[in-house]
């Protein structure tokens, strides 16, 4: 996606648009397109030391200054406590395809800059190409170094580096850990140690978090150039023991790799190709299992079980990354405990958390989709099916977190102090959205898991009738317990045998999932109600605007943000189930598919905002629905891509 000068007329315009580069390990490079870091997570090298976790900011940025006939021009932008640097005024173009490229113009000097990370290496490359024009020019480059967990900020003097310079390589060794950061460049280097001004992070301030950061400046790089010539200036920053490729080679290799991803997926639609490249950001290798997993979102999430299974089809199957898909399923199988897949791998090297009632049920859905796309019955039979059997048994007899099948065939989960559904916020002892008991989407998923087991068992030559019987029992009770005949929609949860009457989007899954648990008339009424009360151009509200607990704006400190997270905030991933359900109840008509296309393509225009060529996690419930949360979210991208391919293009 290409943007021009009119997209950043002011500093505030420019900081609304970000870019993201990843390396397949959970490491990333990210900032605003004007180069101003407005998040503590922004930096050229956020390296995952135990991929995909333990991410440390090492190289924050490189500020470039151009000097022509004694006059200096900043190409960089910053927001300090004392001042704002306005280098964005020299930026002429930004293009995200196939890798981020920036074009600067100063008088008759044209400068291009390209960024890329080496795939599966903690290495970032920056390549400048300069047409000098009619005058001699000099460029100086100021590196901003840090050493901290990417969730933190640094104080002045809070870390120390020993530096040395030889053979065009600046070597920085962090004193307390011995971590080695190398910056290799064809520039001349001059050491001049100092600390940056206090950098102000606008986004962290909005989120009620620490917003002042300091960076270490070890010295400057510079390069002098003659008139009417072309020059290439390169930087390569790495914590690897050795650099196998030059900065230019990394740039070209990454361009080639990303174009190959598009070619393999096989779409000619520009929107889909952007989604295919966005998908690549989230598929990473986990060092503990030596297999693939999915990062839930950038810049702060790690791999979550629920998010992985929801995003799975869009990110891996519609993109034809079938080996990665298989790897991901096998990753989570290794960690199944008491019939439950992990909900989260913490951002430290600690055991997984199993606080989920739906992650394991989404796993059945992911396996079902994998089989539909690949017909890989051998893997299902040899490596997956026995675990599916065991998971069902644990759910029927009861397992951890008070998850069990009740006498009516429905699943009940949790208690007043737990949060086990995707609406999982808990602040201290405050359960913001209490959904213990029998949640509507949990039981729609449970029914589908049983039907999936029935179908797979039969395909493998086993007797699946017992699963079919359990499914029919659950279906009968589901209609009896969840249907609100007065309102013509589904209750959100059954607690202590009493229905909770709140209009939430969870009911849409009872319509969208592969196996229908309701008759078509009820499905249509649900879609109409959800469309009327919850639909927005960027997904579904998590609570009806008419409810007294509705909160229309997501922001402020942790308490305020968590209080709004599932109380009206729009979730982009829910556009997938909604579009699926909408087309289904309209009998897959040509007209309904055209409407679905328009609904999904709203996100094409969003991809020119927030994180360029990616999709945000959430949006304000109130208009104009500002993007919030993670700037790049796996299930947002995955569900938009999946439904476009499966519903609009009719591939299933």
CA 545 to chain centre: 27
Spatial separation of the C-alpha atoms in residues 143 and 151, rounded to whole Å: 21
Asked if residues 44 and 60 have their Cβ atoms less than 8 Å apart, the reply is: yes
Q: Are strands 123-131 and 199-200 parallel, antiparallel or unpaired?
A: unpaired
Domain boundary among 211, 227, 257: 257
Domain boundary among 257, 282, 317: 257
**Which CATH number characterizes residue 49's domain?**
2.70.98
- Whether the ω angle into residue 305 lies within 30 degrees of 0, i.e. cis, is no
- Whether the ω angle into residue 624 lies within 30 degrees of 0, i.e. cis, is yes
Asked if residues 295 and 23 have their Cβ atoms less than 8 Å apart, the reply is: no
Copy the structure tokens of residue 341: 């897949």
Kindly report the backbone phi and psi dihedral angles of residue 335, in degrees, each rounded to the nearest multiple of 5, phi listed first.
-110, 10
Q: Which of 309, 343, 497, 506 is nearest to 418 (CA)?
A: 343
Q: What pLDDT, on the 0 to 100 scale, is given for residue 346?
A: 66
Q: What pLDDT, on the 0 to 100 scale, is given for residue 182?
A: 98
Secondary structure of residue 36 in the 3-state scheme: coil
Copy the structure tokens of residue 190: 């001059």
Classify 140 in phi/psi space as left (phi over 0), alpha (psi -120 to 50) or beta. Answer: beta
Q: Which of 342, 324, 345 is nearest to 333 (CA)?
A: 342
Copy the structure tokens of residue 65: 């200054």
Answer whether residue 483 is part of any domain: no
Q: Are strands 17-22 and 610-611 parallel, antiparallel or unpaired?
A: parallel
Domain boundary among 230, 257, 284: 257
Answer whether residue 190 is part of any domain: yes
Q: Which of 22, 26, 14 is nearest to 44 (CA)?
A: 22
Residue 101 is part of which domain span? 2-257
In the chain (652 residues long), the average pLDDT of successive 10-residue segments reads 95 97 98 98 97 96 97 98 96 98 98 99 99 98 97 95 96 93 98 97 94 98 98 98 95 99 97 99 92 96 96 99 97 95 78 95 99 98 98 99 98 96 92 96 99 99 98 99 98 97 98 99 99 99 98 95 97 99 98 98 97 99 98 99 97 72
Asked if residues 144 and 160 have their Cβ atoms less than 8 Å apart, the reply is: no
Does the global pTM surpass 0.85? yes
Answer whether residue 562 is part of any domain: yes
Asked if residues 222 and 141 have their Cβ atoms less than 8 Å apart, the reply is: yes
Answer whether residue 631 is part of any domain: yes
- Split into its structural domains, the chain has a count of 2
Secondary structure of residue 550 in the 3-state scheme: coil
Asked if residues 374 and 313 have their Cβ atoms less than 8 Å apart, the reply is: no
Secondary structure of residue 98 in the 3-state scheme: coil
Helix (H) or strand (E) run with residue 468 in it = helix 465-482
Answer whether residue 396 is part of any domain: no
Output the DSSP codes for 201-251. -HHHHHTTS--EE--EEEEEEEEEE-TT-EEEEEEEEE-SSS-SS-HHHHH
């Amino acid at each position: 996606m290409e943007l021009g000068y009119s997209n950043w007329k002011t500093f505030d315009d420019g900081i609304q648009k970000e870019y993201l580069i990843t390396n397949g390990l959970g490491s990333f490079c990210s900032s605003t397109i004007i180069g101003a870091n407005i998040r503590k997570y922004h930096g050229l090298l956020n390296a995952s030391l135990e991929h995909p976790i333990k991410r440390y900011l090492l190289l924050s940025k490189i500020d470039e200054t151009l000097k022509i006939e004694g006059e200096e021009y900043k190409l960089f932008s910053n927001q300090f406590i004392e001042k704002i640097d306005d280098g964005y005024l020299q930026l002429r173009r930004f293009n995200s395809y196939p890798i981020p490229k920036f074009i600067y113009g100063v008088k008759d000097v044209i400068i291009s800059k390209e960024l890329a990370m080496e795939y599966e290496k903690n290495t970032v490359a920056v390549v400048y190409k300069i047409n000098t024009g009619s005058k001699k020019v000099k460029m100086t480059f100021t590196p901003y170094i840090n050493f901290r967990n990417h969730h933190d900020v640094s104080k002045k003097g809070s870390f120390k580096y020993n530096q040395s310079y030889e053979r065009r390589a600046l070597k920085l060794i962090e004193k307390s850990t011995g971590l080695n950061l190398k910056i290799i460049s064809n520039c001349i280097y001059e050491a001049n140690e100092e600390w940056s001004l206090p950098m102000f992070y606008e986004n962290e301030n909005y989120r009620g978090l620490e917003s002042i950061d300091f960076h270490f400046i070890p010295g400057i790089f510079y390069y002098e150039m003659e008139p009417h010539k072309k020059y290439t200036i390169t930087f390569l920053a790495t914590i690897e023991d050795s650099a196998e490729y030059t900065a230019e080679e990394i740039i070209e290799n990454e361009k080639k790799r990303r174009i190959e991803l598009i070619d393999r997926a096989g779409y000619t639609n520009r929107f889909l190709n952007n989604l295919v490249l966005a998908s690549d950001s989230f598929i990473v290798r986990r060092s503990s299992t030596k297999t693939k997993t999915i990062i839930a979102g950038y810049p702060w999430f790690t791999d979550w079980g629920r998010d992985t299974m929801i995003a799975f089809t869009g990110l891996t199957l519609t993109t034809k990354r079938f080996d990665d898909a298989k790897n991901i399923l096998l990753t989570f199988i290794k960690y199944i405990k008491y019939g439950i897949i992990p909900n989260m791998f913490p951002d430290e090297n600690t055991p997984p958390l199993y606080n989920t009632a739906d992650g394991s049920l989404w796993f059945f859905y992911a396996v079902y989709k994998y089989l539909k796309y690949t017909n890989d019955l051998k893997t299902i039979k040899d490596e997956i099916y026995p675990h599916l059997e065991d998971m069902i048994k644990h759910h029927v007899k009861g397992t951890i977190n008070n998850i069990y099948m009740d006498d009516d065939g429905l699943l009940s989960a949790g208690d007043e102090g737990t949060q086990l559904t995707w609406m999982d916020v808990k602040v201290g002892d405050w359960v913001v959205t209490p959904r213990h008991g029998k949640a509507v989407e949990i039981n729609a998923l449970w029914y589908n898991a049983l039907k999936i087991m029935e179908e797979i068992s039969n395909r493998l030559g086993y007797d699946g009738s017992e699963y079919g019987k359990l499914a029919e029992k659950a279906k009968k009770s589901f209609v009896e317990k969840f249907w609100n005949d007065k309102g013509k929609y589904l209750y959100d949860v059954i607690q202590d045998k009493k229905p909770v009457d709140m209009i939430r989007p969870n009911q849409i899954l009872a319509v969208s999932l592969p196996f229908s648990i309701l008759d078509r008339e009820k499905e249509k009424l649900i879609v109409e109600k959800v469309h009327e009360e919850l639909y927005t151009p960027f997904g579904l509200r998590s609570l009806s605007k008419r409810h007294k607990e509705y909160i229309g704006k997501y922001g402020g400190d942790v308490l305020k943000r968590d209080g709004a997270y599932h109380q009206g905030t729009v979730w982009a991933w829910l556009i997938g189930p909604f579009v699926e359900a909408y087309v289904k109840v309209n009998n897959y008509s040509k007209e309904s598919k055209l409407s679905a296309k328009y609904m999904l393509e709203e996100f094409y225009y969003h991809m020119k905002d927030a994180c360029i060529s990616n999709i945000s996690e959430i949006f304000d419930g109130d208009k104009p629905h500002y993007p919030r949360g993670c700037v790049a979210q796996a299930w947002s991208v995955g569900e938009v891509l999946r439904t476009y391919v499966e519903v609009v293009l009719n591939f299933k």
